[in-house]
Amino acid sequence: MKFKPFDYQVGMIQHLKDHKQAALFAGMGLGKSAVTLAAYADMIAAGEMTGALIVAPLRVCTITWPDQVAHWGFDLKIANMRTDEGKRAWRDGTADLYVCNFEMLASKTIKGKHYKGILEEFVGQDMPVCTLMIDELSCLKANSQRTKAIIKARKYFKRVHALTGTPSPNSLLDLFYPLKVLDGGERLGKFITHFKNKWFTSDYMGYTWTPKENAHHEINSAIADICLVRRSEQHLEIPSCDIIDCDVTLPAKVMKQYKALERQLVIQIQDKVVDAQSAATLVNKLAQFTAGIVYDEDGSEVHLHTVKHAALAKIIKKHSPVLVLTRYRSEMAALLEAFPEAEAFDEKRMDDWRAGKIPCFVANPASLSHGIDGIQDSCSVIVWMSLTYSLEQYEQTNARILRTGQDQNSSIYRIMAASSIDWVIASALENKSEGQSGLMASIGLLQRQSVPTASEPSEKSRDRFDFFSAP
């Protein structure tokens, strides 16, 4: 199949061609990888580009990018740097695109032995590529070893491009390191302390940072020139989706234990000690309580209840097929035992899933939030048994059914225990989502304001900003 861009994708392609430092903040399902391949194919054919190193999550780099090249018929040779063949291709310069996963970037020392990362071993003056492409830029929101490795190596690349649908998964603070990767600190500053002091105020302990009054506008203004926004709801004709919260009640005994753990941080259940000596651990333990199985101090399972199973049974009776999401291995095992018709998610079974032969897939959201396409071919119902804290993971996972190819109204069920941490997590996700939407909308507004005021804007300007025009 030959790739023919939609109208909204033309501007995305041109944005990558026009900017040596560029990001596409584009919603799920808008074809970020396809437009990137189209831009690179054009530039390589025109002699403007020698090739690209693409960094992405493991499944995305090993499956999605090669599949996209093949699916759209691009005349590009792709090599996997995880293999000896791919590394030889890099040394020989015989491919156009080279893919590797984030875990390969940084050097590491294991048991006293030093192992070079991809960027240390292969990146330098005499590379077969001139472009660095980072797929899922939000993976670099922390000052991790991989982030440091990219910042150190970016000087060797003529272009640094990036893709993401969730540019600030938790807050504006998440933008600093992704933007430093893109522009070396030109727009938001070279140091996180300068960024914080300029646009945020902190509590007296320095733990909580709150944006100053004009921070959103000023930050968005600073990055709007290189970060192009495309929002899924503006361009994809996808049937409506309902979010349905199912409230269940924990048994009185379990709720009493839940409240005791919440107050005391340590309790004893069935001769087992459940310990939560930090805020993060407490939140996790409380979520395990509502899921039905909590881990004690030795990592053993303590079974508490199955009240969420009854709610799931009603949903499965009403819908088929259903994608069920769990955070804990013990929770998944209990569901597979309680529901014989359910299967643990297996990418090798996707053909049967697409054909509607599997009534219920049970998965951890981390296993399919990136790089999995085809869930929507037979399924329009997701059930969250235990919510993730990660907005990026939450939105990416929901996008498995809310994407091109979905032809039914969708439902996302969230089974949550009354008066519990479940509702706190749901509220936190909504607050983070509002922040993300505000970021996307604000940058979009700035870009719309940048459209030439002449009655007939240029084709380049129209392509870039048509998404933000008033209806």
Can you give the CATH number for the domain in which 394 is found?
A: 3.40.50.300
Q: Which residues contact 288 (CB under 8 A, 6 or more apart)?
A: 294, 295, 328
The pLDDT value given to residue 457: 40
The pLDDT value given to residue 110: 82
Strands 108-110 and 113-115: antiparallel
- Kindly state whether residue 148 falls inside one of the protein's structural domains: yes
* Total domains present in the chain: 3
Query: Distance between CA 286 and CA 295 in Å, rounded?
Result: 11
| Strand (E) or helix (H) holding 459 | helix 459-465
- Kindly state whether residue 353 falls inside one of the protein's structural domains: yes
Place of tokens 């893709």: 163
Which of 392, 417, 442 is the last residue in one of the domains? Answer: 417
- Kindly state whether residue 189 falls inside one of the protein's structural domains: yes
Residue 187 shares a structural domain with residue 242: no
Specify the CATH number for the domain of residue 83.
3.40.50.10810
- Kindly state whether residue 362 falls inside one of the protein's structural domains: yes
Spatial CA neighbour of 225 closest among 442, 436, 447, 465: 447
The pLDDT value given to residue 286: 93
Taking the mean position of all CA atoms in its chain, how far away is CA 252? 38
Spatial CA neighbour of 227 closest among 6, 446, 459, 457: 446
Residue 169 shares a structural domain with residue 297: no
Residue 76 shares a structural domain with residue 177: yes
Query: Distance between CA 246 and CA 240 in Å, rounded?
Result: 19
Which of 417, 437, 463 is the last residue in one of the domains? Answer: 417
Residue 195 shares a structural domain with residue 214: yes
Residue 289 shares a structural domain with residue 413: no
The pLDDT value given to residue 465: 30
Residue 54 shares a structural domain with residue 64: yes
SS3 326: coil
- Kindly state whether residue 435 falls inside one of the protein's structural domains: no
The pLDDT value given to residue 336: 97
The pLDDT value given to residue 444: 62
Token duo for residue 333: 């095992």
Q: At what angle do helices 421-449 and 391-398 cross, to 10 degrees?
A: 80
The neighbour count for residue 418, using CB atoms within 10 Å, is 12
The pLDDT value given to residue 438: 59
Residue 11 shares a structural domain with residue 31: yes
The pLDDT value given to residue 392: 82
- Kindly state whether residue 313 falls inside one of the protein's structural domains: yes
Residue 226 shares a structural domain with residue 334: no
Give CA torsion, residues 337, 341, 346, 348, to 10 deg.
Answer: 140
The pLDDT value given to residue 108: 85
The pLDDT value given to residue 395: 87
Residue 273 shares a structural domain with residue 320: no
For every residue of 216-233, DSSP letters joined together read HHHHHHHHTTTEEEE-HH
Residue 165 shares a structural domain with residue 282: no
| Strand (E) or helix (H) holding 335 | helix 329-338
Low-confidence ranges of the chain (pLDDT < 70): 169, 206, 369-371, 433-471
SS3 268: strand
- Kindly state whether residue 365 falls inside one of the protein's structural domains: yes
Which of 417, 442, 465 is the last residue in one of the domains? Answer: 417
Residue 98 shares a structural domain with residue 225: yes
Q: Whole domain around residue 341: which residue ranges? A: 237-248+307-417
- Kindly state whether residue 464 falls inside one of the protein's structural domains: no
Spatial CA neighbour of 225 closest among 77, 73, 18, 462: 18
Residue 84 shares a structural domain with residue 135: yes
| CA distances, 46 to each of 39, 42, 79, 156 (Å) | 11, 6, 21, 21
